[in-house]
Amino acid sequence: MAGNGTKKWYHIKWFADQDTPEDRRLIFKLDLLIVPYALLAYWTKYLDQANLNNAYVAGMKEDLGFEGNELVQLQTMYIVGAVVGQIPFMFLFTYLPMYWIVPFLDVSWGIFTLLQYRANSFAEIAAYRFLVGLFESAFFPAMHYIFGAWYRGDEIARRGGVFYVGLTLGTLTAGLIQAGASAQLEGVNGLAGWRWMYIICSVITIPIGILGYIVLPGTPDRPNRIFLRESDVTVARERLERAGHDFSEAKFTWGTLRRLIAKRQFWALILLDVFFWNGSINTSTGGYLLWLKSLGRYSSARVNELGSIAPALGILYTLLICFASDLVLGPAWAITAAHVWNVLGLIILVAWNVPEPALWFAFMTTYSAVAMSSVLYGWVNSQLRASPAERSFTLVLINAVAQSTTAWTPLLVFPTVEAPRFTKGYSFVLANAICLIALAHVIRVYLGKRECFDMAEEKTNSPKANSAPESGGEKRHILLNAFDMSTIGHLSPGQWKNPIDKSATKRNLDYWIELAKLLERGGINALFLADTYGGYDTYEGSLDNCIRRAAQWPVTDPTIPISAMAAVTKNLGFAITASTSFEPPFLLAKRFSTLDHFTRGRIGWNIVTSWKKAAFKAIGLDNPIDHDERYRQADEYLRVLYKLWEGSWADDAIAPDPENDSYADPDKIRTINHQGKYFSLSSRHIVDPSPQRTPLLFQAGTSEAGSAFASTHAEAIFVSSHSPAVLRPKVARIRALAAERGRDPRSIKFFATFTPVVAPTDAEAAAKLAELRRYASTVGGLVLFSGWTGIDISRFEDLDRPITAADSLEAHKVRSILDGFTTTSKEVPEWTPRVVAERAAIGGLGPVAVGSPATVADEMERWIRDADIDGFNIAYVTTPGTFEEVVDLLIPELRRRGLYPDPVSDEEPGLTAREKIYGKGQKGLREDHPGSAYKYDVYKEDPPYVEGEEQVEQKQQTA
């Protein structure tokens, strides 16, 4: 956040203002699990790494007969082992639990640290150094991968800083341990003091490694359940998704590699890390200790004691730089601050012929070079937060490549025989430090240009603007559903006359199969299918124009083609509209459980409460149920379904036992006894649990009653408005209601209707729209408008008279739509019959974006930002034409901007509909969803309904 004026040093807080109480509890738990272990393990790592230099000046050189460059060669053997060992972990981080990988490495390096005590030759200790390096190889990127899996970009550096204190603490402690071993253990049991240090270090290392199996939390996709609950993992995923993290690409594939190597940013990060490693190699070459020994005035023990001063200062540098990065400076300026101090010392060391106090000062600046290590790796974590696979590969590869360069650079510029004055070495390190500072700011400027979207969100105080300072260019992905209906025309009546439109072929199964293949190719989240149970008869008081204009007439059943579409796709979800008004809950539960099985968990349900008179008359009822009463009925309907879907079957109820002629255990299938105001049921659910149990729950409607219902039950909400300014307060209202009900308000995803007309250029798109208008049915659009709002617009004589809510004479209508089209905005200053007639025939009065892919993408970004929504239901003008334009023109542009996920590899398993919204692993309802209260293991039957109780409860709530 350097330079943005939003943070001051005296405003430092451990938690961010936007962190909820649940977030803070989780962060505190993670801090206790990850940070202390990381500090202890890194401390032992540098005990084991730094002890070589300490042992060398404490007698190893003489005992093993070293006479030349053996010290730097042993350092190189360690680096070679560390580089070689990292290669497989570029892949393994995304395939194996991190709470297995890291402790295994820790224990293994402890074993080979111990074996060094028995070395009697250069070759033997070189082999041990290689193996220690091999098992220490992936620790640093592994810990940063874990940090990046649980923390936002603006939270990593200070925790990484505490972790990195282990490096300087280990170097410091190694000197003190060696000093004590030399003074107290020399000759004990026939072992030299330097050999005892390896024994002591291993005794410390191995137990800490074993502790990792218990305390390390793993990652959200593979969590360690010893201390973490499912609710912890859910909170973690959601808070990170709000910050732009994406869990959809969890495993590394070759496609990951192809995408990475095509990015300039990836190569810049490699070069940045090369400059960092080579701009700090003077911390590991032993120059300070060799200078102290060259003075000839200190014993070996005293040399090791004095050698602890520089790393002790490194602790201060590390904490100062890392906390400043998160809370004040941002990564690039924190790197600058650390290495400006480093550069001052290096200039003195290059000059060398200066008063001795100046050399003391120069060596005391040495560990500022590594103080910003966690800043750099935290920055990389944040930049690649949208892909765990890219994070894993990049963290390991940049570390391996950069570290591999230090396998040979010290041999060239820090030969031991030139000790203690390494003119070539200090000059080389100085050049790298300067290049590091320069490249950090090049990357900062580059990322700043890519973050205009996030900055715009922050300026509009969007609740979802929660990204880290200077955290990288990746953005939160937009979710896209294709919006269709088993009818002719849908929201753009009249286009059936257009030769390129295929909507009149929807009664042919081939239409749906080919559409599903197209949407799958484009990586569309889901096919959202609307439905209705009656025609629109408000316009002119007759159904005739609805039928004549094919204004959503005729309509076939949307559930029938689903199985065929599922058979030709692996990733496409299906959201089907079904009403709570016309069938018993048991029948709907059976149908959706079946579909969820057949689609392997890709089913969503768009919950509607029916309102058309024609629909109720079709099933033998004279009038629809009152608006608010419909929602009270729907609430009970949902609770009956939760009981069937979540509470009837145990997970292990099916246990085939051929020998005992038993397929399922009846004792593990509960009979649901529901006695409510609207529904009664006594039955076990007849379908075994499907992959999701409860389908992903969509809902449409933002009236007062609809908002209350949505904030209780919906996981995704379909909204429609002509303006983001009109929509935003409704979204905010539902999020606030959800929070009052104990739900995470960000867990509810909002999808707005959006009709794009896309062509390669703006001019071509405008010409295309003019052509589409030739086929549009104005009367068909007015039929839809009249039906939705209850306003018979055919009765208006003055076409320029403003439309008001008082014009709706029909009690049964879609109140949220009526409200949307009697509310003005800068997009539509005044709704009149003329304006409605101009707009109704294309896009159903929702926003229509016309232009090139860039123009339409800009408009989508505006809606996401200004309305605080998560995605769009893409309505078509012609089908499949509009969807082809989206797949072939618009989605590539969104991907170029980092706003849309990359294609899913064929090797990746398909995700359920809920996982595509919430992330891999979240197949079932979240813990904060009311349906979770009916899960089998915690199920309690509701008491029977008693007449009058609900009125008493309502009065109590009012009081």
pLDDT for the residue numbered 536? 86
From residue 907, give the alpha-carbon distance in Å to each of 18, 215, 387, 877, 903.
38, 32, 16, 35, 11
Q: What ranges in 808-852 are assigned the alpha helix state H?
A: 815-820, 833-839
pLDDT for the residue numbered 253? 60
Asked if residue 794 lies in contact with residue 811, where contact means CB atoms within 8 angstroms, the answer is: no
Question: Residue 700: beta bridge partners?
Answer: 718
- Strands 749-758, 662-664: parallel, antiparallel or unpaired by DSSP? unpaired
The first and second tokens of residue 799, run together, are 């076409």
From residue 910, give the alpha-carbon distance in Å to each of 350, 689, 698.
59, 18, 21
Residue pLDDT, tens place only, 490-518: 889 999 999 999 999 999 999 999 999 99
pLDDT band (50, 70, 90) for residue 129:
confident
Residue pLDDT, tens place only, 787-844: 877 788 888 877 677 777 666 665 444 444 445 555 545 565 566 777 777 777 888 7
Asked if residue 463 lies in contact with residue 868, where contact means CB atoms within 8 angstroms, the answer is: yes
Residue pLDDT, tens place only, 261-271: 667 777 888 88
3-state secondary structure 887-948: HHHHHHHHHHCCCCCCCCCCCCCCCCHHHHHHCCCCCCCCCCCHHHHHCHHHCCCCCCCCCC
pLDDT band (50, 70, 90) for residue 468:
very low
**Which of 119-128, 580-589, 715-724, 813-822 shows the lowest mean pLDDT across its residues?**
813-822
Q: Which residue has better confidence, 794 or 643?
A: 643
In this model, does residue 449 exceed pLDDT 70? no
In this model, does residue 640 exceed pLDDT 80? yes
The first and second tokens of residue 652, run together, are 């292990």
Report the percentage of the chain scoring pLDDT > 70. Answer: 81
pLDDT for the residue numbered 155? 76
pLDDT band (50, 70, 90) for residue 957:
very low
pLDDT for the residue numbered 76? 78
Q: Give 669: exposed, middle or buried? Use CB within 10 Å, 0-12, 13-18, 19+.
A: middle
Mean pLDDT of 670-675: 96
Count of C-beta atoms within a 10 Å radius of residue 484: 26
Residue pLDDT, tens place only, 690-729: 999 999 999 987 677 888 899 999 999 999 888 888 888 8
Three-state secondary-structure class, residue 88 = coil
In this model, does residue 130 exceed pLDDT 70? yes
pLDDT for the residue numbered 251? 57
Sign, CA torsion 624/626/630/631: positive
Dist CA 88 CA 92 (whole Å) = 6
In this model, does residue 465 exceed pLDDT 70? no
pLDDT for the residue numbered 278? 81
Mean pLDDT, all residues of the chain: 81
Mean pLDDT of 767-796: 87
- The amino acid occupying position 91 is F
pLDDT for the residue numbered 826? 56
pLDDT for the residue numbered 74? 81
Contacts of 761 (CB under 8 A, 6+ apart): 852
Asked if residue 576 lies in contact with residue 529, where contact means CB atoms within 8 angstroms, the answer is: yes
pLDDT band (50, 70, 90) for residue 291:
confident
Q: Rg (Cα) of the chain, in Å, rounded? A: 33
Dist CA 253 CA 386 (whole Å) = 15
Asked if residue 243 lies in contact with residue 347, where contact means CB atoms within 8 angstroms, the answer is: no
Residue pLDDT, tens place only, 28-42: 888 888 888 888 887
CA proximity to 751, closest of 530, 931, 454: 530
DSSP state of 468: P
pLDDT for the residue numbered 370? 76
Q: Which residue has better confidence, 695 or 204?
A: 695
The first and second tokens of residue 84, run together, are 């070689």
Residue pLDDT, tens place only, 594-637: 999 999 999 999 999 876 676 767 777 666 667 678 889 999 99
pLDDT band (50, 70, 90) for residue 157:
low
Residue pLDDT, tens place only, 52-88: 766 777 777 778 878 777 777 787 787 788 777 777 7
